Chain A
């Protein structure tokens, strides 16, 4: 007898979805979360697409800080490209959202323990068979049939199982975000600033949160982060663009803009979400992809418990599921991200200039893509498309 069928490390969107679907499939499941809170601190811009979210849950009104119907891209020389149109997505209150997804796991029968910091794995004949953790400083263990590592960008669970999760600098965005009040922003538009002067190898975002509030942040690619500190660039932008803003929250964070790991399962263990590097490598969006990965991992874990088979081989169906659902798209997005990386600021300005010639009334996202795509192999279009799907 094990203590639990499934132990999930980490209570973010990926972990909660994994626990939800493991419990739903009949497995005795627990989430261990190191922080005192589920959903806090919020290390996230909180933007999601409506279509993405709806794959998994019906959006609840109290999750939504702002409904987004417009995307703006600003090129290095200030050329603005607006794409107005259909309801695209939301800026969430992740604090509430993460809580509610965790609660769905609980309602399906899962347990959650916060302040439970996982420090190592248990092994049985080379197979992962549980976790070591500290609860309020007290050392404890839990045995399990399946461990799911949903421990975010900082994931160490995979490393302990011999999976190679260390991120390359060029695959990591070094980010800072201020959640600010007293800014005059369009309440329905999210803005992206691209180019070296804003955020070398990344972008700067302004996401509205209603009532004159916004998440404003930027990411610098790791290979440039030695010379450009995210905090300095963001302070410079704020002084210039929003000198009267007050900061309500400041956070740092890392975004894995990497390919999904080559190997993210082993006997007794699966990684998911940021831990498996499932984030959209163009946009850095990882809420929806994490939910997707988590759901697949949780479903597979329940099936493994049912079958009494916790081998890496059994977990193949999880890998196949991810490849089918998002994996191939993910590989394509990584290639786009790579190409964008090689564009200079003048290249970006050029592309923006040609896009801005598309008449305003034709600037629904789809039209922009198709019209401009014919004119030049415009990578920025691919980028915008990636953003439209977040």
Chain B
């Protein structure tokens, strides 16, 4: 399955991805970013907009599951 993956220790918590997500599938606290995979429609626009390339869309290898 394709899933949005958050690269570790890279995010600046700026919220730009949150702003463009069409289905409100990203949660961002002060220093914590979560993709709500049940809501996510894999449109990838959060991947494109991130100024520093934190997000990637990829096949979901078990050890990388960031399911909340």
Q: Is B one of A's binding partners?
A: yes
Interface residues of A in 296-349 (CB under 8 A from B): none
Q: Mark A40-67, 1 if CB is under 8 A from B, else 0.
A: 0001000000000000000000000000
Pairwise interchain contact A229-B52, C-beta atoms closer than 8 A: yes
Contact of B16 among A117, A154, A229 (CB under 8 A): A154
Q: How far is the CA of A166 from the CA of B16 in the complex (A)?
A: 11
**Given A152-B15, A254-B19: A117 and B49 within 8 A (CB)?**
no
Give the residue name and chain of the A residue nearest to B15 (CB).
A154
Give the residue name and chain of the A residue nearest to B16 (CB).
A254
Pairwise interchain contact B14-A254, C-beta atoms closer than 8 A: yes
Give the residue name and chain of the A residue nearest to B48 (CB).
A226
Q: Mark A149-160, 1 if CB is under 8 A from B, else 0.
A: 000111110010
Give the residue name and chain of the B residue nearest to A175 (CB).
B51
B18 within 8 A of A: yes
Q: In the complex, which residues of chain B have a beta carbon less than 8 angstroms from the beta carbon of A155?
A: 19
Pairwise interchain contact A253-B51, C-beta atoms closer than 8 A: yes
B12 within 8 A of A: yes
Q: How far is the CA of A281 from the CA of B20 in the complex (A)?
A: 16
B21 CB, nearest partner CB in chain A, Å:
7
Q: How far is the CA of A175 from the CA of B17 in the complex (A)?
A: 12
Q: How far is the CA of A165 from the CA of B24 in the complex (A)?
A: 10
Q: How far is the CA of A159 from the CA of B16 in the complex (A)?
A: 15
**Given A117-B29, A117-B30: A172 and B20 within 8 A (CB)?**
yes
Interface residues of B in 18-50 (CB under 8 A from A): 18-22, 24, 28-30, 45, 47-50
Give the residue name and chain of the B residue nearest to A219 (CB).
B51
User: Which bucket holds chain A's interface residue count?
Assistant: 35 or more
Give the residue name and chain of the B residue nearest to A164 (CB).
B22
Q: In the complex, which residues of chain B have a beta carbon less than 8 angstroms from the beta carbon of A291?
A: none
Q: How far is the CA of A226 from the CA of B50 in the complex (A)?
A: 9
Q: In the complex, which residues of chain B have a beta carbon less than 8 angstroms from the beta carbon of A252?
A: 12, 14, 16, 50-52
Q: In the complex, which residues of chain B have a beta carbon less than 8 angstroms from the beta carbon of A231?
A: 51-53
**Given A34-B29, A117-B30: A172 and B51 within 8 A (CB)?**
no
Q: How far is the CA of A152 from the CA of B28 in the complex (A)?
A: 12
Q: In the complex, which residues of chain A have a beta carbon less than 8 angstroms from the beta carbon of B50?
A: 174, 225, 252
A35 within 8 A of B: yes
A107 CB, nearest partner CB in chain B, Å:
26
Pairwise interchain contact B51-A174, C-beta atoms closer than 8 A: yes
| With A36-B30, A167-B20 already in contact, 13 other A-B pairs whose C-beta atoms are closer than 8 Å | A34-B30, A43-B14, A117-B30, A153-B15, A153-B19, A166-B20, A168-B20, A176-B51, A222-B49, A226-B47, A230-B51, A254-B19, A254-B51
Q: Which residues of A approach B to under 8 Å, CB–CB?
A: 34-36, 43, 115, 117, 134, 152-156, 159, 165-169, 172, 174-176, 220, 222, 225-226, 229-231, 250-254, 256
A–B Cβ pairs within 8 angstroms, 7 of them: A36-B30, A134-B29, A154-B18, A167-B20, A222-B20, A253-B51, A254-B51
